[in-house]
Each structure stands twice: as structure tokens, then as C-alpha cells.
Amino acid sequence: MNADDKANILLVDDQPARLLSYEAILTGLKQNLVRAESGTEALQRLMEMEFAAILLDVNMPGMDGFETAAMIREHPRFEKTPIIFVTGVHVTDFDRLKGYQMGAVDYVYVPVIPEILRSKVQVLVQLYLQRRELERLNQRLAATNTELAQAHAALKAENTRELQKLNRTLEHANAELAQANTQLKAEIGERKRAETALQEASRRKDEFLAILAHELRNPLSAIHNGVQLLHAPGLSDHQFAWARELLGRQLKHLTRLIDDLLDVARITSGRITLQRESLELSTVVAHAVETVKPLIEARRHRLSVTVPPEPMYLEGDLVRLTQVIDNLLTNAVKYTDDGGSIDLAVEIETSPSLQACLRVRDNGVGIPPEMLEGVFGLFTQVNSSMNRTQGGLGIGLALVRGLVELHGGSVHASSDGVGRGAEFTVRLPLTAAPAASATDKTAASGVSRQPGLRILIVDDNVDSAHGLAMWLEMAGHEVRLAHAGAVGVETALEFRPNAVLLDIGLPDMNGYDVAKCLREHARFRDVPLIAITGFGGESDRMQAMVSGFDFHLVKPIDYEALTNLLAREARASAA
């Protein structure tokens, strides 16, 4: 696309970070993105060039978005330039009407959903480019008509041959106009289809947000009740044990909700990385069945598992493949009435290539025919059309599809209709058996008590740090706390810990800088540094390793993993 063929898009926001996010979202449109950090600067840009659309922040210091829009509309040259308001607060119907009267064509709410913003702006850009192209065609037509008028004046003096030539020119011009009109009608139809898709995406977004609020409030309510019970006087041992188990279950549930949301974001943006290794499929199946077994038993389902006796090897990520089977089994449990049956069968297929075929079949509510194509879409739930309240965010099957495709496989859903159960089929490519290893990679199921370590915890979240410290002290370790990076360095030099649990997001200096500072001292060259953070992406792990960390744990911390890690360090220290 030539520079002259590109449309200008004006991005107006007083926050540079948000402007940068708009540019990142809209770069794929391949248009000219122009920034303005105030209403005054926006008006200056409008005097310099013409814009296809304006993305305008409502809340800006000085001249806010509504005032800026009003001044734009006062200029006859810009009165028809479409404006999309960006706001982080709820907009009343009166404010919405006010915005529309000032030329707004739509609103976008913060946090911005990239696909929705990109679609809205793309529609406006397409309309602008179409209108500009139509103007060019009209100019050409006007020029042609002028030529025809001149030719008509000269026809009186010219012969019939010249008249026929001019008539052919006219016919050609009319054919071009008819073709342009046909193309314009087709583009208008495409715009209507895009608007329909945008409305559907917006509806699904609103529905998902409502479901998310519901799913978060349920465990939060249970946690609140458990905490209140723990504060009650005269609490019996039975009640204490029940409250502790309740808090553990609900915390695990909240963690899974958040992990699912993060996984969807990573898959959608292509930032998820598989930890590939040679796996035996029956091992993956066993892990998944063990994970979902309590849920199956709670619903009194009958689970049948059929796996070929011969080993089946594939290259994949054990955690992610376990997650695939776990999600399929959990989905079957949710949509099957208590006491139902679920079949998990694995077969080996040789055509068209060597692959494993894994089927999960249930005798539950089934899937309506019109929903079979969309069950793997984001935020899709069969129960929404059948008035069932099974819970969940509606992203489990979307995760299944994304993870299976990352492993080079495919997934398919089938059902004989409502009330007749459903079957999900996953196919994964198999590989040759790996060479025998001299190392027996077996891990003990329990952790024996090891000599206590001196452990330093550096975390600005006081409650989280004290809770972790009490747990470590109960395990026999000596613990010191620091709630800022600089204090953490001073405490480490004085305390000389055997291990450091270090948060990344500290108020004064971040955990990466603290790690680098500690590694500069000879006494900390070999002391294990363990990152404890809410940032769990592959890039975060790599940055931690580069900064000098030995291990990377994501909050909320898996205590079993931390116990095993510290036990290993204790054995190494004692050796």
C-alpha cells in the first residue's frame, strides 16, 4: 500500500502508555497512526491533515474528550470525522447521548479488548477509504462528462466516425461506474456482516464478564465464610479442619480460574511455550484421571478407561497434555447428571499417519447440532442455551483446542443431539520410542524432614510474607523477613541465609536488581535465589534466570514444590 493510499488515524490520550497500547493494537491495520497527548494538540493535528477516525480519551486534564469533540464539530471541515470515545468509567445514557450528538460513532471501555478496538477502527477506515475512492471515481466521471460536453460541441463539425468513437468512450465510462457501484454494494454488504460479527463479539464479551463475576464471587464468598468461622470463639477441632479444607479448595479453584484466563491470553497472543519431552501417553492419561478423580467420585460417575497395552510415545509438554485430558474429563463431568457414565478410550491409528486417537464419551446432556461448530470458541457454554448452571468460564474447550494444535494435533466434537451425550476426539502424532536412559527419573512421593535452613524472605506483601514465614518455621527452618529491596540486601549480608525467597515487584528496587546485587558478593555466589512472583510467562522466567535466580515459583506458591526444592538444598548443604 502506497503512503498516499493510507488513511490517517488520530490517537488522543494524555497517557503515553495507553497511546503505545493503541499503536500496538492498530499497527496491523497498516495505516498512518498519529499521536496527540491533549485536546489542544489534537486540534493542531486536525489542521495539518485529514483523518479517517479519531480515538479520543474522555478523561483528560484541561480540555476533556467531550470538549475536544465539540470544538472539532464546530469546524465545518471536520464535522463528519467519526470519533470513538475511550473511557474507563461507566457512561450514563445522558453522557452517551451527549457523545453521539458530538459526533461519536461508538464507545470503547478500558481495559481495551484488542480485537474489538481493531474491528471498530478497521470498519471506519474501510468506509473512509471507500468514500475517498468513490470521490476519485466521481472526479473521473465529472472529467469524462466535461470531455463529453466538449466533444458534443464539436460533433456538429465532425463526421459520424468521430461520433461513434465518443459514444464508445461514454459506454466505457458508464461500465466503469457500474462496476464501481457493484463493488461498493458488495463492500457495504461486507460491512454489515462485520457489524453483525462485532455485535455478537460484544454480546459474548458482556456475557463472559457476567460469568466471570459470578465465578469469582462464589469462591470469594466461601473464603469469606471460612475466615469468619475461624474468627468465631469456641471453634472445635472439627470446625477448624473443615474451614481449613474449605479455604484450600476455594483457593485452588480461584487459582485455576486465573490460570485458565492467563493460558487463553498466552495462546491467543502466541506467547505460550511448551516444555517438550518424550512422553508415554498412558502416563499422561493416568495423571489426568488422578487429577479429576475426586470430582468424578463426588458426582458418583462411572469412569471407564481403556488404554492399549503397548507403549505410545509422543513429544509434548506433560503439564499441558494432562491439562487437555483433565479439561475434557471435567467437561464431561459437568454436563452429565449425577451417576452417569464417562468413557475414556485411547487407540492407535496408522492412517494417514501414526497417531494416537483419544476419545472422551459421556451420556450427559448432549450438544445441539447448531452449537457443534462453536463449542471450542472462547466464552462458549452449552448450558447457556439449555438453562443449566454448570459454572465455569466457558474457556476450557478453547484451551483444549489451542493446546492440542500447539502439539500438532486436532480435536473434534460430536453428539447425537440434546440428551444423548457427547464425544470429544483428540488426535496427536506419535513418535518412536526414546533411547533407554541410564538415569532413573523417579521422585519420592513424600519429603523427609531435613535439617533446618536459614531462609530470608523479601516481599512487600506483609501478610503473604508472614504466612509463608510461619509455614517455613513450622517445617524447622530459621526465617528472617524484609519488605523492601534495599533492606533485603542489608538483611542478607547480616543474616547470611542458606536460601533467599525474593519477590520481583518490590517498592524501591525490583527483585531482578536485588538478585544482581547479591550475586556481586562472593558469599552469595552459590546461595540459591528463588523468585516468588505473580509473573509466570516464559519471558519472565528467562529474565529471572539472566538476573541470577536459580528457581522461579509463581504465586500462589505450590508448597509441595517449595518443600521439595528446600529439601534438596538442605541435603546439598549437609553433604
Q: Where are the domains of the chain?
A: 3-198, 219-269, 278-429, 454-574
- The CA distance from 420 to 328, in Å, is 17
Q: How far is CA 368 from the centre of its chain?
A: 27
Q: Among 313, 312, 293, which residue's Cα sits nearest to residue 303?
A: 293
The closest of 117, 205, 113, 200 to 393, measured between CA atoms, is 205
- Burial profile 418-449: b = 16 or more Cβ within 10 angstroms, e = fewer: eeebbbbbbbbebeeeeeeeeeeeeeeeeeee
Other Cβ atoms less than 10 A from the Cβ of 227: the count is 12
pLDDT score for 379: 61
pLDDT at residue 386, as a whole number: 41
CA-based Rg of the chain, rounded to a whole angstrom?
32
* Cα gap 539→545, rounded to integer Å: 10
- Cβ-count burial of 409 within 10 angstroms (0-12 exposed, 13-18 middle, 19+ buried)? buried
Average pLDDT per consecutive 10 residues, the chain (575 residues; last block may be shorter): 79 93 92 94 92 91 88 84 84 71 78 90 91 90 87 80 87 89 89 84 68 68 80 84 82 76 70 83 92 89 94 91 92 92 95 93 92 76 46 74 93 92 95 62 39 89 86 90 94 94 90 94 91 81 90 84 84 68
Write down the pLDDT at residue 54: 93
- Bridge partners (DSSP) of residue 454 are 478
- Can you identify the CATH homologous superfamily of domain 278-429? Histidine kinase-like ATPase, C-terminal domain (3.30.565.10)
The rounded distance, in Å, linking the Cα atoms of 121 and 274 is 34
Identical fold at 3-198 and 454-574? yes
Quickly count: other Cβ atoms within 10 Å of residue 169's Cβ. 14
DSSP 24-76: HHHGGG-SEEEEESSHHHHHHHHHHS--SEEEEES--SSS-HHHHHHHHHHST
**Hey, what long-range contacts does 290-296 have (CB within 8 A, 24 or more apart)?**
291/322, 291/326, 292/326, 292/329, 292/330, 292/333, 295/330, 295/333, 296/329, 296/333, 296/342
Q: Which of 367, 365, 340, 345 is nearest to 356 (CA)?
A: 345
Pairing relationship of beta strands 302-306 and 313-316 according to DSSP bridges: unpaired
- How do beta strands 499-503 and 454-458 pair? parallel
The answer to whether 327 and 400 are in contact (CB under 8 A) is yes
pLDDT at residue 44 in the model: 93
Domain 3-198: give its CATH architecture: 3-Layer(aba) Sandwich (3.40)
Looking at residue 464, its amino acid is S
The yes/no answer on whether domain 454-574 falls in CATH 3.30.70.2740 is no
Q: Which residues of 98-132 are buried (b: 16+ CB within 10 A; e: fewer)?
A: ebeebbbbbbbbeebebebbbbbbbbbbbbbbeee
Query: DSSP letters along 210-225, please?
Result: HHHHHHHHHHHHHHHH
